[in-house]
Structures are given as C-alpha cells and as structure tokens.
Structure 1
Amino acid sequence: MAAACVMVLGTTSGAGKSWLTTALCRYYSNQGLKVAPFKAQNMSNNARVVEGIDGAWGEIGSAQYFQALAARAVPGVRMNPLLLKPEADTHSQVVLLGQVSEPLTALPWRGRSAVVWPQIAAALDQLRAENDVVVIEGAGSPAETNLHASDIVNMRVARHAHARCLLVTDIDRGGAFAHLYGTWALLPEDERALIHGFVLNKFRGDASLLAPAPQDLQERTGVPTVATIPMQWHHGLPEEDGVFDDRSTTPGAVHTTVAVVAYPRISNLDEFQPLKNVPGLRLQWVRSPADVAGLRPSDWIVLPGSKATAADLAWLRAQGLDQSIAAHAGRGGTVLGVCGGLQMLGEALIDPEGIDGNGPGLGLLPLVTVFEPAKTVQRTSAAFGPLAGAWAPLSGVAACGYEIHHGQTAQHPAMAAKGDVAREVMPGIAWQNPAGNVLGVYLHGLFEDTAVLHALFGAQAPTLDAVFDGLADGVARHFAPGVLDALIA
C-alpha cells in the first residue's frame, strides 16, 4: 500500500514551507510511523552530501537533509531528485539524483521539465512504496500561471501523489488572507480540491483579532484555517536560504562577533546555524568595509563557501573588503575561510578548464588552487593536527563534515621553495598561516560537530533531536485538534 502523502505549499517563497515540512516529519515519526521527506526540485546553494545511487555520494538541498533527520530516515538523493545550484542570475548547475548533469545544465529551462519528470516521479513512487507517510515540500507558489504548464514541483507532484495539501503564508509580511485567497483562486478546480487547510505562519499578537477573516475565507473557499503559528526567532533550524539577522541572536552580553562575508554567490550558510545558539556570540553580515570597521582581533571574519569563487572574489575586491580583511588579519584578527573561502585566502586561482575563473587570491595563505572538471562530493572524517593561535583549541579534535568543491589546493611551489609554507593541519583539507590566526578548511559542517563547538567555545548547541522535537510539539499545539491525523487517515 502506498504511503499517505501530506504536501506543504506556500503562497510565496519564505512563507515557512521548509520549517513546517521538517516539523511534520518529526510529528509523524513520533507517532511510530515510517516517514520520508520529498521535494522534487530545490533551487539552492545550500547542499549536503548524502547516500547516492549505487553507493556513490550525492548532493541534495540542505532542507531535505534536515527533514530526513527529523523523520529519523537516512538522507538520500531520492528525497530531492533535482537540485539547481545558481551560478549566475540566469544560469544554474543542474544536479540530478545527486550528480551534476552537464546535458541538463545546458538545456533550456522549459525544455528540462519533460526530461526529468519521469525520474522525479519514480523517486517519489519508490519513497511512497517504502514508507507510511511522505511529507512533500513545494517550491515558491503553486499559482504562478506562467510556470503551471511546465510544473514539476508543486501541483503536478500533488496530483501524482494524491497528496492532501496545506497552504502556508507568512502573515508577518501583511496581506496574508489575500495571498491565501489569490493562490487558491488561481488554481484549477481539481487542484483546489487538494487544499485541505490554510496555515498562518509567523504571527505576532492576539490571535482573536484575526476574526472574522478566517471564517470569511472559509466561506469563500471551503478551506478552513487549521493553524496559526507564532513567530519563532529561536526555533533552532537554519532559515530556508541560510539568512540570519540580528533578531535571531542569542541573548546576553556579546563577547565575540562572527562577521560572515555575504558575497553574491554565497553557499552553505546553513552550517553556521549552531553559532546562533552559542551564548555570547553574535553573527552579522559583511557587505562593506564599514561592517568590519569596529571588529577586535578576537572577533572573526568568515569567508564562507561560494558557488562562483572567482566572481565573488572580484566582488569582494570591488567593495574594498580585500583590504579590510587583510588589515584585520594583519592586526592578528581571526580569519576563517571555508571551501571557496579557503580558495580565496590563497595566492592564486588557476582555471585551465574554464570551470570558475582565474584570479589572484587574497594572499593570506601561501596556497594555490587549480580548478578541475571533476567535482569532489564526499563525507569526510578527520582529526586536526597541532594548531597555533586562536585555533589551538582544535588541536587533535576529530571532526566530521562534508566536501563539495571543484578544484584542488596545494602549497604555492615558488613560495614553498623560499620557506613560506602554510601549515597543513588536516591533510589535503585544512591549512593555517604561521602566525596562527588564519585558517582555511575544505570541510563544511564544522560547527555542527559538537566536539568542535565545545573546543572553540566551551559550549554546546541544542541537539538536532531536541530541535526537531520542539518543532513537532509546536505544531501539535498550534494545529486544530485532529487535523494532522486526519491528513493521513
């Protein structure tokens, strides 16, 4: 018997689909059911490495990775069969069932849907056959009439799975009831029938003041408003696009600022989520020299991952941030580069194959990166060797994470011949400058490792299981009685 399917649709991007899908995965798992998440197509540069087909590692969107963990399932590529990783405003790398597909990347966007739908449907059908419940996340809005004919992620999936759908909206933005009604009204009659409930998300205030709008909406559509979920600044999950803001910082006195450079093609920002839960830490965006002007040497500048390293490095220089970062490092300030950020910290980017782009690096580590067509995608466990300076607490610490990168990094030969050598503190993965304040790593997910977090800060973020259970408890409280169970009956 095929699994019952519950689908979370949104009136807009950022309405709370990923959050609610994760919460429902844990809610149904807590009922003793075998649960899997599914999102047909995700557009994101936040990706995780998971089990692929025939034993190969593959990539899926980070949201589906966390949803699988919430469901107590092993994350796999079928849970997000199509991943689009933007490399420019009009171009994305296409990842199908975990692997980069050059032919699909080259196809026009509208021509891609017919090619990939059979594999998307097959992945969903396999998950339905293996589980009691599949919780499906939509993308954007299901009512984009210009996209409906080529849809492979919203109502086509809902029809294929006979899913019972929830439509969620962000009431904090304003216009929530218009969003809900307009979305419902733009759907064809047969698709309207799949909407079983409206959800008001991110509500602040007295819920009794919403009347009579929910009842009026139900009279117009026949669809009840089944939940009003309060605004939650500290739910513990990364935001859908990795974005954080000052409202989500931990309370108390700030002793360390972690300033993350927000270049245009940033990737894997979700890995910094645990830092938001460390008492006394403040995360902030950096987009101009003014953003780092007040940093102390004990504060961090982080160069995160990038989907377009050379282009983001050029952007960074155009803002004048290269000088600011160099000045911070020159004062002994702490600097961390992760993946693309590591590559930027070196002396040069060399691209003989036209993969990313050539360019001089920031010169804070005597390294050189050569881009190659082959892409490294793997889970990695390794221990740090001896480190100095601000990073000394990581000495000997074993860490688990993942690698997703084009290119290989090594010592700069000419500089090494003159004795200017970076300390390789994790073979082929991490290097440190002789002064000890600059560290570059290929390993994503460091701060999700409890040993790393404790070594650096003497702190421990809430476990993911505690976060997921909190989400599940929240939906149980805020949904009308019996609604969640009726969706799978």
Structure 2
Amino acid sequence: METEMTASGKAPCIAALGTGSDVGKSIVVTALCRFFLNRGIRVAPYKAQNMSNNSGVTPEGLEMGRAQIVQAEASRIPPHVDMNPILLKPTTDVGCQVVLMGEARENSTALDYHQKKERLFKTACESLDRLRDQHELVVMEGAGSCAEVNLMAGDIVNLRMAEYADAPVILIADIHRGGVFAQIVGTLECLPPEQRDRIAGFIINRFRGDIRLFEDGVRWIEQRTGKKVFGVLPWYTHITIEAEDSVVIESPPAVSPGRLGKPSVAVIRIPHISNFTDFDPLSAIDEIDLFFIEKVQNLSGFAAVILPGSKNTRFDLDWLKTGGWADTLRAYVDNGGHVLGICGGYQLMGQYVHDPHGLEGTPGSEEGVRLLPVETTLKAPKTTTRSRFMWDGTEGTGYEIHMGQTDRLGGSPMFTVLEQNGGTPHNSEDGCVSQNGRVMATYMHGLFDTPAITRRWLECIGLGHIPISDARSGPAARDREYDLLAEHFEQHMDTEALLGLVDKA
C-alpha cells in the first residue's frame, strides 16, 4: 500500500493520544507501526517530548527514549533522535535532566522548562518534518492526558503537535482502570470544538473478560460522541513488549524467594531506577523467578541481588544507607551472596561517590555501599555509547548512559571493551569483579540481551544448569513479539478504518 503525500508534500501523520498516563499509548503505537509496516508502508514513530528514565543509544551514539527505540524496531528501521527530540529524565520530584536531540543539555526545574517550551516546540517540529520527508507515514505518540487544561497552553506533544501535523487523532482509553466512559466523554468535554473535531475515534485498551459483554458499551460511546470505536484490545499475557514507565514496578511488595521451587533473583527498586527493562530477558526465563523489591527484607533466599541503574546516584545512595539496605547487602555478601550492579548500581556499590561540581546536589562526597574497591566521580560530559565487549571469551553487546567516571582500585575488570560507537574504545576495561568473584558490576545496559552473556552470569551465581535459549532474547526475539502484538491488534481492530485514517490524513 502506498500513501499519498499531503498538500505540503510531506508524509501524512496519525496521532495516538491518551485519556491519561499509562493507558497503553506506547504499546498501541508499537502495534500500529508493525501493522502499517505489514501493509507495505514505510512508517516511523515519533514522540516530541518523552519523560522517562528508560533510555537507549542510537547508532550515532545519541540518547533517546527506549519506547521510541522499541517502536523503531517494530518499524524495522534504525532509531534516530528525530523520533524523540526531547527526553526529560526525572532527577527529583520537580526537576529533570533535559536531553535535547540526543545530548544532555541541562538540569531544569519544571517551571524553568515550561518557560522554554516555545523554542523546544520549534525543534520538535523540525524533527517531525525530517521524518515526514524520509518516510511514508509517521505515527505520533502523545504524553499523559491530552486534556490537561492547566497545561494545554504550553503543550508541545499532544493536540498542538497533532494540529501542526494535521493528523487525525486516535484517543486511547484504559478500561482496566475503570470509568472508561467518563475517561472518553470527560476528555472530549475538556477540549475546545476544533480540537474535539480532530479526534477521529477511540481504542479501548486492556479489556478483561468476554468482549461481547462490552458491545453495548461500544454502541453507547459511538452514539454519545458521534465518533468511531476502532476496536477493543483484550488484556494479553502471551506477548512481551518493553514497558516505558516505571509505574509498572511501583510499590512492589516483600516476597518469599523460592516459593515455587525456583531459584529467585531480586532487583532492588531504588527511587530513581532507570532502564529497568534491562531485566526483561531474565524475567522471560521460566526456570527463574525475578522480583523487584523495595522494602528491606532478608536476602538469604535469593540466588543473586541486582542494583539497577539510577538517575540520581547520590539520592539513591542515601536511600540505601538510611533505609538499611546497605547493611543488608553487605551482610548478604558476607554470607555468600552474589550481587550485580549495572550503571548507577555500579556507582552505588563503590567506596565513595564524589560530586565536585554539584551535578546531583550540593558539591561533596558520599560514602558508598562499599561492596567493591572502586570510586566514582560525577562529571560531564555524559557518556552515551553502543558497545561490543568480551567476557571471558564470550562476546556481547550493550550500551552505556552515565554521567561520571569510575576508577577501579582493586579487583579485576568485568569486561574487555572491543568497540564503542563503531570505533576504538576510549577505555578497553569496564566494570569490576571482587576478589572472591561474588560481587561484580558494569556500566553496560542491555547485557542480558545476549543469551551467551546471560548464560555466563548464571554460571557465576551457581545457576549454570538452567537452559538459556538463544531465541528468547535479543533483536530476533523482540521482532517475533512485535509480530505477535500486530496479530493480536489486527484481530480486534477495524483495520480498514485505520487504513482509511491514513488516506484522510
């Protein structure tokens, strides 16, 4: 299928906006990208502004949100920062790091950022225009609710961007939250008539039960709004797509490891956790239970504990120490436990974290958790690389996103870095392994995407007997999941009506 260029000579766009946060916009856009690709349309994803601590690195060595990387994979194209020109990475309740066109530019309060939105809107429009020049269709994703009336004047990602692109809007609502009728009608009532007219119809997400029981609901919505329900997406458990927001792991309960006779691995859910999708390949292993835990508990039943990435190392370090986690982790290691740190987790595990320039607060130094003989100095510029590395003869790939440098004072390196961003590495050693081999850390995100590396790590923690299929992780495995998602999507959507939106765009 070929799409027709708009009057401007650029590719058409359609927009997927939401009635609220975490209603499934990212998943719907991912499904739409693979759906349109399967119809022979050269499609690209786009989100003007993303707020997430889950990020990745493009082939050019630039940083962007992982949700748009996932959507680019579903479109079978390389990720590019034009797909996510503005990335906000929360560092406090009222502040964030601003990543503009793939580079960390500044730390900003919400108020300061709001005052710069007009300039940023221009940048976002330029990125969208470039995508429209290079593809046949752009699927745009909104952020949060598209009807936050107190924020709409400065909105640069929802209806204002859809208006710029002259894109028809699909409004996504989440029936699992309850109140789906109020979500839809309330959103429309909050919009001025010209924006309300831009909404072409709705997708109802996360339905549980017999979908036939909602047929009356669909008719009511269509009669009440005069707009089409494109489909109702049932809840699924047979598809694994990376989550965008850490809301999916908020407030995890204390757990009992080994409850089903399986070995268990714990990931400590620190306050500013980043790139928690690093552990999706581990959670896909049937023979292991993976838990996110937040409240201090006895760790003796876990085969290993992981300290994940952090967007505010000093805050999370204080949280670990004052809450009792630091003592608990040291006792766990003293009793034979295995600990792995990734990126910010690597920094947390050292002897000290130095912040001479006050990148994360008042300048100063903090004593670390003291699990490894390393010291970290927080400093600019930010490191963003895609890397190829070797671990005891096993090759893997990953990516680094961190502010600062960690110096090893003892132990041994974990990996030998072979290549960074397609060239010679700045430093051929990465990470640290303790003398007894039970504590290790690395700056590499995505290391478990390589099955052989997962297998090697399981050997280190005494679980080498667990079979690891080469087909369960990595790009090929993710591509199969996108096909499953598109199949699920098409089964429950009016696909001809969706294709018709492209013709009308």
Q: TM-score, normalised by structure 1?
A: 0.90
Where structure 1 has 5 or more consecutive residues not aligned to the other structure, the ranges are 385-394, 413-420
Conserved? CA contact 1:374–1:406, under 8 Å: yes
Equivalent runs, 1:150-161 vs 2, <5 Å: 150-161=154-165
Equivalent runs, 1:33-48 vs 2, <5 Å: 33-48=41-56
Conserved? CA contact 1:410–1:428, under 8 Å: no
Q: Distance in 2 between matches of 1:139 and 1:106?
A: 16
Q: Distance in 2 between matches of 1:342 and 1:408?
A: 11
Conserved? CA contact 1:166–1:195, under 8 Å: yes
Q: Which whole-Å deviations, capped at 9, do the CAs of 1:84-113 have from their partners, x for residues lacking one?
A: 011100101101100112387797132121
Equivalent residue, structure 2, for 1:392: none
Q: What is the letter of the counterpart of residue 488 of structure 2? A: G
Conserved? CA contact 2:13–2:138, under 8 Å: yes
Q: Distance in 1 between matches of 2:40 and 2:260?
A: 42
Equivalent runs, 1:186-335 vs 2, <5 Å: 186-242=190-246, 243-244=248-249, 253=260, 255-290=262-297, 292-293=298-299, 295-296=301-302, 299-335=303-339
Instruction: Report the 3-state secondary structure (helix = DSSP H, G, I; strand = E; otherwise coil) of the residue aligned with 2:245.
Output: coil
Q: Distance in 2 between matches of 1:71 and 1:82?
A: 20
Conserved? CA contact 2:174–2:206, under 8 Å: yes
Equivalent residue, structure 2, for 1:363: 370
Equivalent residue, structure 2, for 1:7: 15
Instruction: Report the 3-state secondary structure (helix = DSSP H, G, I; strand = E; otherwise coil) of the residue aligned with 1:358.
Output: strand
Equivalent residue, structure 1, for 2:439: 438
Equivalent runs, 1:156-167 vs 2, <5 Å: 156-167=160-171
Equivalent runs, 1:52-131 vs 2, <5 Å: 52=60, 57-102=61-106, 108-131=112-135
Equivalent residue, structure 2, for 1:416: none
Conserved? CA contact 1:254–1:280, under 8 Å: no
Equivalent residue, structure 1, for 2:256: none
Deviation at 1:481, TM superposition (A): 4.3
Q: Distance in 1 between matches of 2:173 and 2:47?
A: 18
Q: TM-score, normalised by structure 2?
A: 0.87
- 2:36 aligned with 1:28, yes or no? yes
Q: What is the letter of the counterpart of residue 47 of structure 2? A: K
Instruction: Report the 3-state secondary structure (helix = DSSP H, G, I; strand = E; otherwise coil) of the residue aligned with 1:487.
Output: helix
Deviation at 1:318, TM superposition (A): 1.7
- 2:31 aligned with 1:17, yes or no? no
Q: Distance in 2 between matches of 1:35 and 1:229?
A: 22
- 2:407 aligned with 1:422, yes or no? no
Instruction: Report the 3-state secondary structure (helix = DSSP H, G, I; strand = E; otherwise coil) of the residue aligned with 2:121.
Output: helix
Q: Distance in 2 between matches of 1:106 and 1:170?
A: 27
Instruction: Report the 3-state secondary structure (helix = DSSP H, G, I; strand = E; otherwise coil) of the residue aligned with 2:240.
Output: coil
Conserved? CA contact 1:49–1:58, under 8 Å: yes
Q: What is the letter of the counterpart of residue 485 of structure 2? A: L
- 2:178 aligned with 1:171, yes or no? no
Where structure 2 has 5 or more consecutive residues not aligned to the other structure, the ranges are 254-258, 416-427, 459-465
Q: Which whole-Å deviations, capped at 9, do the CAs of 1:56-88 have from their partners, x for residues lacking one?
A: x21111100110011011101000000001110
Instruction: Report the 3-state secondary structure (helix = DSSP H, G, I; strand = E; otherwise coil) of the residue aligned with 2:169.
Output: strand
Conserved? CA contact 2:94–2:110, under 8 Å: no
Equivalent residue, structure 1, for 2:420: none
Deviation at 1:434, TM superposition (A): 1.0
Deviation at 1:45, TM superposition (A): 0.6
Q: What is the letter of the counterpart of residue 444 of structure 2? A: L
Indicate which of 388, 395, 409 corresponds to 1:381. 388
Q: Distance in 2 between matches of 1:104 and 1:353?
A: 16
Deviation at 1:293, TM superposition (A): 4.0
Q: Distance in 1 between matches of 2:293 and 2:368?
A: 19
Equivalent residue, structure 1, for 2:358: 354
Q: Which whole-Å deviations, capped at 9, do the CAs of 1:377-436 have from their partners, x for residues lacking one?
A: 11111101xxxxxxxxxx321111111111111123xxxxxxxx2111324312100111
Share of identical aligned residues, percent? 39
Deviation at 1:450, TM superposition (A): 2.9
Q: Which whole-Å deviations, capped at 9, do the CAs of 1:184-207 have from their partners, x for residues lacking one?
A: 221111111221221111111112
Equivalent runs, 1:396-411 vs 2, <5 Å: 396-411=393-408
Deviation at 1:294, TM superposition (A): 5.0
Q: Which moved more, 1:316-325 or 1:225-234?
A: 225-234
Q: Distance in 2 between matches of 1:17 and 1:93?
A: 23
Q: Which moved more, 1:325-334 or 1:230-239?
A: 230-239
Instruction: Report the 3-state secondary structure (helix = DSSP H, G, I; strand = E; otherwise coil) of the residue aligned with 1:212.
Output: helix
Q: In 2 relative to 1, CA 452–406 (structure 1 residues): closer, same or farther, beyond 3 Å?
A: same
- 2:496 aligned with 1:487, yes or no? no
Q: What is the letter of the counterpart of residue 423 of structure 1? A: S
Instruction: Report the 3-state secondary structure (helix = DSSP H, G, I; strand = E; otherwise coil) of the residue aligned with 1:65.
Output: helix
Deviation at 1:222, TM superposition (A): 0.9
Instruction: Report the 3-state secondary structure (helix = DSSP H, G, I; strand = E; otherwise coil) of the residue aligned with 2:40.
Output: coil
Q: Distance in 2 between matches of 1:103 and 1:311?
A: 15
Q: Which whole-Å deviations, capped at 9, do the CAs of 1:322-367 have from their partners, x for residues lacking one?
A: 1111111112211100011001111111121112352111111111
Indicate which of 458, 461, 466 corresponds to 2:467. 458
May I ask how many residue pairs the two structures share in their alignment? 460
Deviation at 1:255, TM superposition (A): 2.2
Q: In 2 relative to 1, CA 196–344 (structure 1 residues): closer, same or farther, beyond 3 Å?
A: same
Q: Distance in 2 between matches of 1:244 and 1:216?
A: 34
Conserved? CA contact 2:91–2:311, under 8 Å: yes
Instruction: Report the 3-state secondary structure (helix = DSSP H, G, I; strand = E; otherwise coil) of the residue aligned with 1:374.
Output: coil
Q: Which whole-Å deviations, capped at 9, do the CAs of 1:264-303 have from their partners, x for residues lacking one?
A: 111111121121211122221221222x44524xx11110
Equivalent residue, structure 1, for 2:349: 345
Q: In 2 relative to 1, CA 364–104 (structure 1 residues): closer, same or farther, beyond 3 Å?
A: closer
Instruction: Report the 3-state secondary structure (helix = DSSP H, G, I; strand = E; otherwise coil) of the residue aligned with 1:423.
Output: coil
Deviation at 1:30, TM superposition (A): 1.3
Instruction: Report the 3-state secondary structure (helix = DSSP H, G, I; strand = E; otherwise coil) of the residue aligned with 1:89.
Output: coil
Q: Which whole-Å deviations, capped at 9, do the CAs of 1:300-327 have from their partners, x for residues lacking one?
A: 1110000111110100112111111111
Q: In 2 relative to 1, CA 169–303 (structure 1 residues): closer, same or farther, beyond 3 Å?
A: same
Q: Distance in 1 between matches of 2:164 and 2:152?
A: 15
Q: Which moved more, 1:304-313 or 1:100-109?
A: 100-109
Instruction: Report the 3-state secondary structure (helix = DSSP H, G, I; strand = E; otherwise coil) of the residue aligned with 2:21.
Output: coil
Q: In 2 relative to 1, CA 453–487 (structure 1 residues): closer, same or farther, beyond 3 Å?
A: farther
Conserved? CA contact 1:353–1:373, under 8 Å: no
Q: Distance in 2 between matches of 1:313 and 1:43?
A: 23
- The CA RMSD measured in Å over matched residues stands at 1.9
Q: What is the letter of the counterpart of residue 37 of structure 1? A: P
Q: Distance in 1 between matches of 2:110 and 2:209?
A: 49
Q: Distance in 1 between matches of 2:289 and 2:238?
A: 14
Q: Distance in 1 between matches of 2:109 and 2:147?
A: 26
Q: Distance in 2 between matches of 1:30 and 1:170?
A: 26
Q: Distance in 1 between matches of 2:38 and 2:332?
A: 48
Q: Which moved more, 1:205-214 or 1:219-228?
A: 205-214
